Amino acid sequence: MPNIKSAKKRVLVNTKKNSQNKSNKSEVKTAIKKLNEVIDAGNYEEAVELYKQTESIIDSAVSKGIYHKNTAANKKSGLAKRINALKKD
């Protein structure tokens, strides 16, 4: 445990930020899982609507600095490919 006041504050701030980041990452993962379930069920219209919400959640995580923009682009691209594959079937 730190003895200096500023170090004590950093521990508190880091703990709080860590829990916020975990929460936001969990929100992204949950949204992706829900979308994947809809895609697996084969419901194209619902998948398109849910994709818009998921994309928004991923973008907000990028703006908060939780994900790198390329990581987010990769996640969105993979989901879009799966949705487009549904459309062709």
Mean pLDDT in consecutive groups of 10 residues from the start of the chain, 89 residues: 94 97 97 96 94 97 96 97 87
Q: What is the pLDDT of residue 87?
A: 83
Q: What is the pLDDT of residue 71?
A: 97
Q: What is the pLDDT of residue 35?
A: 97
Q: What is the pLDDT of residue 89?
A: 64
Measure Cα distances from 71 to 14, 33, 56, 68, 76 in Å: 23, 17, 14, 5, 9
Degrees, nearest 5: CA angle 27-28-29: 95
